Chains A and B, each alone.
Chain A
Amino acid sequence: MNAPNNVVANLRRLTRHHLFWPVAALVALVLACGAYSPGFLDVTVADSHLFGQPVDILRQSVTPLLLGLGMCLVIATGGIDLSVGAVMAISLAVSLTFIDANGPGTATALTALVIGLITALVIGTFNGFLVTVLGIQPFIATMILMVAGRGVAMLVTKGQITTTASPAFKSIGSGFVLGVPTPVVIGAVVLAIVAVLVRRTALGMLVESIGINREASRLAGVRATGLIWTVYAICGLLAGLAGIVYGAPTMAADANNIGLMKELDAIMVVVLGGTKLDGGKFSLAGVVVGSLLLTTIERAVIIFHIPSQVTPLFKALVLIVVCLAASERLRRAVTGLLPVRRLQEAS
Chain B
Amino acid sequence: MTDQKDPGQAPVVEMRGITIEFPGVKALDGVDLTIRPGEVHALMGENGAGKSTLIKILTGVYQPGAGAIRVAGEDVRFGSTADSQAAGISTVYQEVNLCPNLSVAENIMLGHEVRRGPFVDWSATRRAATKHLARLGLDLDPASILDSHSLAVQQLCAIARAMVVRPRVLILDEPTSSLDKAEVAELFRVVRGLRDEGVAILFVSHFLDQVYEISDRMTILRNGRLVGEHRTAELSRMDLVSAMVGRSGEILADVGERAARVAAAEHDRAEPVLSAQGLGRPGSAAPFDLDLFEGEIVGMAGLLGSGRTELARLLFGADKPSEGALAVRGDTRAPSPLVSLRRGVVYSSEDRKKEGIIGDLTVRENIALAIQAGRGALRKVPAKELDAVVAKYIEALQIHPANPDALVRNLSGGNQQKVLLARWLATGPKVLILDEPTRGIDVGAKAEIQRLVTELADQGLSVLFISSELEEVLRLSERVVVLRDRHVAGVIHNGPDVTVETVLETIAERAAS
Query: 8 Å CB contacts to A: which residues of B354-400?
Result: 354-361, 365, 368-370, 372-375, 377-381
- Let me know if A205 is at the binding interface, CB within 8 A: yes
Contact A212/B380 with A202-B372, A220-B337 known, Cβ cut-off 8 Å: no
Query: 8 Å CB contacts to B: which residues of A70-93?
Result: none
A17: B residues at CB distance < 8 A: none
Contact A203/B423 with A219-B337, A220-B373 known, Cβ cut-off 8 Å: no
In the complex, the answer to whether A201 meets B369 with C-beta atoms within 8 Å is: no
A222 contact from B349, B355, B359, B369, Cβ within 8 A: B369
A221 contact from B337, B349, B381, Cβ within 8 A: B337
Closest CB-CB distance, A278 to chain B, in whole Å?
10
- Let me know if B341 is at the binding interface, CB within 8 A: yes
- Let me know if A345 is at the binding interface, CB within 8 A: yes
- Let me know if A95 is at the binding interface, CB within 8 A: no
Closest CB-CB distance, A9 to chain B, in whole Å?
12
B164: A residues at CB distance < 8 A: none
In the complex, the answer to whether B359 meets A215 with C-beta atoms within 8 Å is: no
- Let me know if B452 is at the binding interface, CB within 8 A: no
- Let me know if B347 is at the binding interface, CB within 8 A: yes
**Complex CA distance for A201 and B378, rounded to whole angstroms:** 5
In the complex, the answer to whether B380 meets A202 with C-beta atoms within 8 Å is: yes
Closest CB-CB distance, B434 to chain A, in whole Å?
13
- CB closest chain-B residue, reference A222: B373
Closest CB-CB distance, B52 to chain A, in whole Å?
20
B318: A residues at CB distance < 8 A: 218-219
B23 contact from A203, A217, A345, Cβ within 8 A: A345
In the complex, the answer to whether A203 meets B378 with C-beta atoms within 8 Å is: yes
In the complex, the answer to whether A215 meets B355 with C-beta atoms within 8 Å is: yes
B23: A residues at CB distance < 8 A: 344-345
Query: 8 Å CB contacts to A: which residues of B431-488?
Result: none
User: What sequence of 0s and 1s flags, for each residue 32-53 of chain A, a beta carbon within 8 Å of any chain B beta carbon?
Assistant: 0000000000000000000000
**With A202-B372, A221-B374 already in contact, 17 other A-B pairs whose C-beta atoms are closer than 8 Å:** A201-B380, A202-B377, A202-B379, A202-B380, A203-B378, A206-B372, A209-B361, A212-B358, A213-B358, A216-B357, A217-B358, A220-B373, A221-B337, A221-B340, A221-B370, A222-B369, A281-B361
In the complex, the answer to whether B357 meets A213 with C-beta atoms within 8 Å is: yes
B354 contact from A203, A215, A345, Cβ within 8 A: A215
Listed A/B pairs (22) with beta-carbon separation below 8 Å: A201-B379, A202-B377, A202-B378, A205-B361, A209-B358, A209-B365, A212-B359, A212-B360, A212-B361, A213-B359, A216-B357, A217-B358, A218-B337, A219-B337, A219-B349, A220-B337, A221-B340, A221-B370, A221-B373, A227-B377, A280-B360, A281-B360
- Let me know if A263 is at the binding interface, CB within 8 A: no
Report the count of interface residues on B (CB-CB < 8 A): 32
In the complex, the answer to whether A216 meets B358 with C-beta atoms within 8 Å is: yes
- Let me know if B255 is at the binding interface, CB within 8 A: no
User: What sequence of 0s and 1s flags, for each residue 309-344 of chain B, a beta carbon within 8 Å of any chain A beta carbon?
Assistant: 000000010100000000000000000011011100
User: What sequence of 0s and 1s flags, for each residue 192-215 of chain A, a beta carbon within 8 Å of any chain B beta carbon?
Assistant: 000000001111011011001101
In the complex, the answer to whether A219 meets B347 with C-beta atoms within 8 Å is: yes
Residue in A212, A220, A227, A281 with the greatest tally of chain B CB atoms within 10 Å: A220
Residue in A200, A209, A223 with the greatest tally of chain B CB atoms within 10 Å: A209
**Complex CA distance for A209 and B378, rounded to whole angstroms:** 15
B423: A residues at CB distance < 8 A: 220
A216: B residues at CB distance < 8 A: 349, 354-358
A200: B residues at CB distance < 8 A: 380
Residues of A at the B interface (CB closer than 8 Å) are: 200-203, 205-206, 208-209, 212-213, 215-223, 227, 280-281, 344-345
- CB closest chain-A residue, reference B338: A221
**Complex CA distance for A18 and B359, rounded to whole angstroms:** 19
B338: A residues at CB distance < 8 A: 221, 223
A218: B residues at CB distance < 8 A: 318, 337
**Complex CA distance for A205 and B369, rounded to whole angstroms:** 8
Question: Mostly helix, strand, loop or mixed at chain A's interface?
Answer: helix
**Complex CA distance for A215 and B359, rounded to whole angstroms:** 13
**Complex CA distance for A227 and B338, rounded to whole angstroms:** 14
**Complex CA distance for A212 and B358, rounded to whole angstroms:** 6
Residue in A201, A213, A215, A221 with the greatest tally of chain B CB atoms within 10 Å: A221
Residue in B356, B365, B369 with the greatest tally of chain A CB atoms within 10 Å: B369
Contact A220/B354 with A202-B378, A206-B377 known, Cβ cut-off 8 Å: no
A223: B residues at CB distance < 8 A: 338, 373
Query: 8 Å CB contacts to A: which residues of B9-59?
Result: 23
A212: B residues at CB distance < 8 A: 358-361
Closest CB-CB distance, B289 to chain A, in whole Å?
25
A217: B residues at CB distance < 8 A: 358, 369, 373
**Complex CA distance for A344 and B23, rounded to whole angstroms:** 9
B373 contact from A203, A206, A213, A344, Cβ within 8 A: A206
B337: A residues at CB distance < 8 A: 218-221
B369 contact from A215, A220, A344, A345, Cβ within 8 A: A220
A205: B residues at CB distance < 8 A: 361, 365, 368-369, 372
Closest CB-CB distance, B97 to chain A, in whole Å?
19
**Complex CA distance for A211 and B185, rounded to whole angstroms:** 40
B365: A residues at CB distance < 8 A: 205, 208-209
Closest CB-CB distance, A95 to chain B, in whole Å?
30
Closest CB-CB distance, A40 to chain B, in whole Å?
40
Closest CB-CB distance, A195 to chain B, in whole Å?
14
A222: B residues at CB distance < 8 A: 369, 373
**Complex CA distance for A205 and B373, rounded to whole angstroms:** 10
Query: 8 Å CB contacts to A: which residues of B252-304?
Result: none
**Complex CA distance for A220 and B374, rounded to whole angstroms:** 9
- CB closest chain-A residue, reference B370: A220
A213: B residues at CB distance < 8 A: 354, 357-359
Contact A219/B360 with A203-B378, A206-B373 known, Cβ cut-off 8 Å: no
- CB closest chain-A residue, reference B380: A202
A280: B residues at CB distance < 8 A: 360
In the complex, the answer to whether A201 meets B355 with C-beta atoms within 8 Å is: no
- CB closest chain-A residue, reference B359: A212
**Complex CA distance for A106 and B341, rounded to whole angstroms:** 51
A281: B residues at CB distance < 8 A: 360-361
- CB closest chain-B residue, reference A203: B377
In the complex, the answer to whether A219 meets B361 with C-beta atoms within 8 Å is: no
Residue in B341, B342, B358, B378 with the greatest tally of chain A CB atoms within 10 Å: B358
A206: B residues at CB distance < 8 A: 369, 372-373, 377
Closest CB-CB distance, A144 to chain B, in whole Å?
25
A219: B residues at CB distance < 8 A: 316, 318, 337, 347, 349, 355-356
A221: B residues at CB distance < 8 A: 337-338, 340-342, 370, 373-374
- CB closest chain-B residue, reference A226: B377
B316: A residues at CB distance < 8 A: 219
A220: B residues at CB distance < 8 A: 337, 341, 369-370, 373, 423
- CB closest chain-B residue, reference A230: B377
Contact A202/B361 with A219-B337, A222-B369 known, Cβ cut-off 8 Å: no
Closest CB-CB distance, B431 to chain A, in whole Å?
14
**Complex CA distance for A212 and B366, rounded to whole angstroms:** 12
B372: A residues at CB distance < 8 A: 202, 205-206
B379: A residues at CB distance < 8 A: 201-202
B381 contact from A202, A203, A227, A345, Cβ within 8 A: A202
Closest CB-CB distance, B333 to chain A, in whole Å?
14
**Complex CA distance for A148 and B354, rounded to whole angstroms:** 37
**Complex CA distance for A215 and B354, rounded to whole angstroms:** 7
**Complex CA distance for A53 and B267, rounded to whole angstroms:** 79
B357: A residues at CB distance < 8 A: 213, 216
**Complex CA distance for A280 and B318, rounded to whole angstroms:** 23
**Complex CA distance for A219 and B355, rounded to whole angstroms:** 7
- CB closest chain-B residue, reference A341: B23
